Chain A
C-alpha cells in the first residue's frame, strides 16, 4: 500500500458550554450533527465522497451507543457511509484523528470526517446495587403479600437514598445513593482516585503553589476572553439553535470569564484535598458540553477537489504512564509524536496543551524542561524541550473554555491549526493528558 500525506481541509465546532447551562438539553448526537453539518456546508463537500465518519465520545449515551452513526445520519451523510465511535477517554477525539490518519495514509480511505462530541450535562445517574436488588425483588414478587413487602422495602430504600444524598459527599459511593456516572467516569478505576487528586499529586511533587495555579487560571481566562472578543474563536464556532422554538441561540463559549481575578479565585476551597490541597474548581477545567469535527483527506484527493487544506498531519503518538500521574501524559506522548514527525521540540512554533488542571499543565512544563525527568522517566539523554508560555494555549485553554471529554482532542487540533494559519507558524503541537494514565500528541504542518 502506498504511503501518502494526510491533510486537514477545515474544521468547525459548536460553542463549549459549561455543563448545566445553555447546551444541557441538547443531545450529544445533535451537538455532533451541528458541527458536521456545518463542516459539510463550509467545505461545500460532496457527501458522496466521504468514506467514514469517526467520532470520539466517552459518555456513550444509552440511546446512542454508537453515537458516530447517529451523528453521520443526522448530518445527512449517505447511508453507505460507515461510522464508528472511538474511546480513549480525554483523547477520544484525538484518537478519531489518529485512526483517520492511519486509514488515509495507508490508502484504505480518501476522505474522513473526524471529531468528537460530549454532553457531560446528560451523563446519567445509575441505580446502586442495594437499590437495584430491591427493585428486582419487587419485580419478582408474585403474591399480594410479597408485592406489598417488596414495595415497602423499596420505599425504605428511597428514604435511605435521600439520607445518603444529604449526608455524604457526591464523590463517595454509598449503598443506596444513585451512582453518578460522571463522577465514576472521572475516577481512575485502577487506583481509585479522582482526576483532581492526580492533579494534587503533581502539584505537590512539582511544588506548585495555589497562587501559581490561580495565576495560570487567570491568564487562561484572559487569553480566552481576548480571543473571543477579537473574533478568533468565532471563526471556529457554529451556533447551536436550541429550545422548543429554536430561539435560544448559543453562539459563544460559556466558560471564559471576563475579569476573572485572583481575589475571586482565592475564595474557592480545594475540592480534592480539603486540608492540604491547592486544586480548586477555579484552577481546574469545568465539565462542559460541546462537539467538534474536522475534514481529513489524502493530499491528492484534496488537490483534485480544489481544496486548500489548512494543515498536514505529520505524526502522532500515544504513551502510557502511572495512572495517578496521568497529567504528565503530554510529556510522554510528545517525544513519540515528534520523532515520528521527524522534528524536534525547538521546531515547534505553537502548542495546544489541554488544560485539564492548571497544576497539570505547569507540571508538564517543568518536566519537559528537566534533564533529570528526561533521564529518569523518559529514558532520554536530553530534556524534551521547553514549553514556552508565549506559544502555549495562546487563545486560552480548557480552564476557561471547558473540556467536553470526548471532544477536546479535536478542539485543540482545530484551534491550533487556525492559529498556525494566523501566525504563519510552520509546525504546531497539540497534546493532552488522558485519564487512566496516558498522553496523546499530534504534530501539524501548516499548508495554506
Chain B
C-alpha cells in the first residue's frame, strides 16, 4: 500500500540512535502539515512491537513533538497484508520474572499513552491484520479508518496465549465499544474474537471503512478533512443506545461481568486463568477516569497470568503451530509438494463426506465414489450440513454455498479417477477389501496419482503392497468429526516418497488442519496413546467407579474435552472394542482389557451413532447416563472406592507410559513437540497443560515411574513402566 507520495521529506536520519535497520523500519515523512509514520519492519514478514521497534518509535515521537509544523499524524503499514501483528511473542516467551514483565508492560503502555497524549490528532490508517498490540495501538489513536480488504481484521487474541491485553487494550476496548462488545472479543481471543471491518464499523471500533483499491486516496481525503476541521483531538467513548443497553453498560454492568464469568467457568472449569483475569481487569477499570490507575490494574493482571505455566504452555503451543505452517513434512530436504486440483474420495459416508467437504471448501473439485447412490447421498448430506450451518450463521452467502456444493459430485464407477490427483480411501476397515480396492483404484488412475488411506487401525505398509507404485501410497488419518478435529496424521509408509509426504502435509494445511508426520505402526500415534486410557476406563468400572463421575473427573478436574466413556460413545463402542482387540494382539501383555469388554456387544448399544452407549442420545435434553448399561455389563452398584487422584493418574499415566514407548523406543515421531501437538489437536488434550509430555515433565518422570510401579504391583503388568521411561527417570531427565 503506497500511501506516501514522492515529494515527502524523510526526517530523522541524523539524530537517530537506532540502527539503520530500525531507522528504515519506522520512518517519519513530512508532507506539509501531515506527518506520515510508516511501519515496515525490516527482515520480518510482519510489523510488531519488539523492544527495538518501541525504542525507535519513542525516538520518532520526540521528533514529532518537537516539530510544530506537523498538525496531524497518520500511521500506515508498508506490509502487504499486515498492519501491526502485536507484541513480539518471542520476547514474552523469554521473560520469566514479574519484574521483567512489569517493565515490558509499562514500556508498551507508555508508548500507547504517548500517542494518546500527543497534542496533534493521530489517524490509524489500517490495511491488513491489526491484532493484539496492533489493536491496542490503534485504540490509542484519535481516528481509526480501515480498508475493506479481506486481510484487514482487528482483535485482541491475547487470552488464547494465556495472557491478557497489556498495552491498555483491556481499558480502551470497553471504553470505545462498550462491555457488551468488548467482553466477547477479549474472551474469545483468536477463537472467534478477531473481527472483520464490517463488524468493526458496526460496533464503532473503526470510524470509516474504504475500498482497499482506493484506500490510499481515501486516507488522504480523510486526513485533509481533519485538517480542515481544525485538526482536533478526539477520544471516542461508547454511548449505549436504548434503555436496555444503558442499563447493562451502567448500573447493571455487574450482572454482565457475572454472566461472563459464569460462561467462562462453564466452558473452561477455571483452567484458563487469563480469561477470568481479563474479566476482573475490565470490571475494575471500566469507567475509571484515572488512566494511570486503570493501567496499573491492567499491568497487575497481566503479570499475574503471564508468569503462569498455563501461559507458557499456550505460547509454546502457538509456536508449535507456527512451526507447522513453515514446515514441509520432510525434514532436512527441500521438497516441493504437488498441486492438488481434483480429489477423489472412496466411500462417501460421514467420514468421506466430511473429507470431501473440507477439500471442496478450499476450491478443490471432488469426486466421491461409493457402492450405491444412497451412500453417495450421505456424503452430499454430510458436506451440505456443515455449509448449511455457516449459511444460517451468515458466514456464507447462498451463492458461496452453491459454489461449494457444485464442486462435489459422485458416482458408482471410476469415472473421473483419470483426472484425479489424489484418492483418499475411507472405506470399510478390512485389510483384504482395502488391498483389493487399492489395486483396482491404482489401475483407474494416472500413474502419478497419490492414493491415501484414512485407516485408523490398519497398517499402511501392508496396504502399500497392493499398490503397483507404493511411493505414491500414504496414510492420511483424519479424526472424527472431520470438520472439527484439527489433526491429520500423515502416515509415511516405508516406501512413501518425500514428494508424496510433502504433498499430503501441504494439502492438510490447505484444508485448515494441523498435520503431524508419523511412522506406520499399530494405532499410529494418537490412537495408540489414547487406547490405554480407554482400556483403563473399563478397569475403573470393574473397580466400582461410576461412569458420570469418572467422566467428570477428566473434564472438570483434568480438562479433557470429554471423559473416556463419552469419547467411546462418540467413536462407537463397536469400533473401540474392535480396535482394542487389535491392540491387544499387537502389543501383548501391556495392553490388557477388562473382561467387561467382551460383554460390550449389544448391537443396539454402539454409542452415539445408535443413540445408545454409556449415555442416551437423540432426546431433546443433553445426553443422560443409561443405567441399564451396568446390568448389561454385569456390574453391581457403584461404590466409587477410588480417589479422584488415582482415577486420573491411572488413565493419564497409562498414556504417558505408552508415549514413552512410541517416542523413545519406536520413534513413531521424532520430537516430544509432535506428541504434544498431536494429542492436543487430535484428542483435545488440555492445551493449558501444554500436551501429554509437557504435563509428564511438570509432574516429574520419577514421580510417574514410582506411581506406575505401585499400580503395577496392585493391578498387574499393564502398568509396568516402559524401559525408556525408567531410564529417563534414572537419569533425572525429562521428555523436553
Interface residues of A (CB under 8 A from B): 33-34, 37-38, 40-42, 44-46, 73-76, 238-239, 241, 245-247, 249, 251
A residues less than 8 Å from B374 (CB atoms): 247, 249
* A41-B416, A42-B415 known; A246-B409 Cβ under 8 A: no
Q: Can you give 16 A-B contacts (C-beta < 8 A)? A: A37-B406, A38-B409, A38-B415, A40-B416, A41-B415, A42-B415, A44-B418, A74-B402, A76-B406, A238-B411, A241-B377, A241-B410, A245-B377, A245-B381, A247-B377, A249-B374
The smallest C-beta distance from A74 to any residue of chain B, in angstroms, reads 5
> Binding site of B, secondary structure by majority: helix, strand, loop or mixed?
helix
Known: A38-B411, A249-B377. 16 other contacts (CB 8 A): A33-B406, A38-B415, A41-B416, A41-B419, A42-B415, A45-B419, A46-B419, A76-B365, A76-B406, A238-B411, A245-B377, A245-B380, A245-B384, A246-B381, A247-B374, A251-B373
Cβ of B376 under 8 Å from chain A? yes
Q: How far is the CA of A246 from the CA of B384 in the complex (A)?
A: 8
Instruction: Report the nearest B residue to A76, measured CB to CB.
Output: B365
Q: How far is the CA of A42 from the CA of B419 in the complex (A)?
A: 10
B residues less than 8 Å from A45 (CB atoms): 419
Q: How far is the CA of A46 from the CA of B342 in the complex (A)?
A: 11
| Chain A-chain B contacts (Cβ-Cβ < 8 Å), number | 53
Instruction: Report the nearest A residue to B412, measured CB to CB.
Output: A239
B window 407-438: CB within 8 A of A: 407, 409-411, 415-419
Instruction: Report the nearest B residue to A37, measured CB to CB.
Output: B409
Is there an interface contact between A44 and B407, defined as CB atoms closer than 8 Å? no
Cβ of B367 under 8 Å from chain A? yes
Interface residues of B (CB under 8 A from A): 365, 367, 373-374, 376-377, 380-381, 384, 402, 406-407, 409-411, 415-419
B residues less than 8 Å from A246 (CB atoms): 377, 380-381, 384
Q: How far is the CA of A44 from the CA of B377 in the complex (A)?
A: 22
Q: Choose among A41, A74, A247, A249 the residue that contacts B411 (Cβ–Cβ < 8 A).
A: A41
The smallest C-beta distance from A307 to any residue of chain B, in angstroms, reads 11
Q: How far is the CA of A42 from the CA of B409 in the complex (A)?
A: 12
Is there an interface contact between B381 and A249, defined as CB atoms closer than 8 Å? no
A residues less than 8 Å from B380 (CB atoms): 241, 245-246
Instruction: Report the nearest B residue to A243, measured CB to CB.
Output: B377
* A41-B415, A42-B415, A44-B418 known; A247-B381 Cβ under 8 A: yes
The smallest C-beta distance from A43 to any residue of chain B, in angstroms, reads 8
Q: How far is the CA of A246 from the CA of B415 in the complex (A)?
A: 21
B residues less than 8 Å from A44 (CB atoms): 415-419
The smallest C-beta distance from A39 to any residue of chain B, in angstroms, reads 10
The smallest C-beta distance from A117 to any residue of chain B, in angstroms, reads 15
* A41-B411, A246-B380, A249-B377 known; A74-B406 Cβ under 8 A: yes
The smallest C-beta distance from A212 to any residue of chain B, in angstroms, reads 40
Q: How far is the CA of A238 from the CA of B376 in the complex (A)?
A: 13
The smallest C-beta distance from B208 to any residue of chain A, in angstroms, reads 33
Q: How far is the CA of A75 from the CA of B419 in the complex (A)?
A: 15
A residues less than 8 Å from B406 (CB atoms): 33, 37, 73-76
A residues less than 8 Å from B381 (CB atoms): 245-247
* A37-B409, A38-B409, A75-B406 known; A249-B416 Cβ under 8 A: no
Q: How far is the CA of A238 from the CA of B418 in the complex (A)?
A: 18
The smallest C-beta distance from B215 to any residue of chain A, in angstroms, reads 26
B residues less than 8 Å from A73 (CB atoms): 406
Q: How far is the CA of A249 from the CA of B375 in the complex (A)?
A: 11
B residues less than 8 Å from A239 (CB atoms): 373
Chain B CB within 10 Å — which of A46, A238, A246 has the most?
A: A246
B residues less than 8 Å from A241 (CB atoms): 373, 376-377, 380, 410
B residues less than 8 Å from A74 (CB atoms): 402, 406
The smallest C-beta distance from A19 to any residue of chain B, in angstroms, reads 23
A residues less than 8 Å from B416 (CB atoms): 40-42, 44
A residues less than 8 Å from B384 (CB atoms): 245-246
Instruction: Report the nearest B residue to A75, measured CB to CB.
Output: B406
A residues less than 8 Å from B365 (CB atoms): 76
Instruction: Report the nearest A residue to B380, measured CB to CB.
Output: A246
A residues less than 8 Å from B407 (CB atoms): 76
Those 9 A-B pairs whose CB atoms lie nearest each other, nearest first:
A44-B418, A41-B416, A246-B380, A41-B415, A42-B415, A247-B377, A249-B373, A74-B406, A245-B381
Instruction: Report the nearest A residue to B353, measured CB to CB.
Output: A246
Q: How far is the CA of A34 from the CA of B411 in the complex (A)?
A: 11
Q: How far is the CA of A41 from the CA of B367 in the complex (A)?
A: 8
The smallest C-beta distance from A64 to any residue of chain B, in angstroms, reads 12
A residues less than 8 Å from B419 (CB atoms): 40-41, 44-46
The smallest C-beta distance from A162 to any residue of chain B, in angstroms, reads 33
The smallest C-beta distance from B199 to any residue of chain A, in angstroms, reads 30
Chain A CB within 10 Å — which of B373, B407, B409, B418 has the most?
A: B409
Instruction: Report the nearest A residue to B444, measured CB to CB.
Output: A44
Instruction: Report the nearest B residue to A247, measured CB to CB.
Output: B377
The smallest C-beta distance from B413 to any residue of chain A, in angstroms, reads 9
Instruction: Report the nearest A residue to B376, measured CB to CB.
Output: A241
Instruction: Report the nearest B residue to A48, measured CB to CB.
Output: B341
Q: How far is the CA of A73 from the CA of B402 in the complex (A)?
A: 11
Q: How far is the CA of A246 from the CA of B419 in the complex (A)?
A: 25
B residues less than 8 Å from A238 (CB atoms): 411
Instruction: Report the nearest B residue to A245, measured CB to CB.
Output: B381
Q: How far is the CA of A42 from the CA of B381 in the complex (A)?
A: 23
Q: How far is the CA of A209 from the CA of B465 in the complex (A)?
A: 70
The smallest C-beta distance from B375 to any residue of chain A, in angstroms, reads 10
Q: How far is the CA of A73 from the CA of B377 in the complex (A)?
A: 23
The smallest C-beta distance from A168 to any residue of chain B, in angstroms, reads 38
Instruction: Report the nearest A residue to B385, measured CB to CB.
Output: A245
The smallest C-beta distance from A9 to any residue of chain B, in angstroms, reads 13
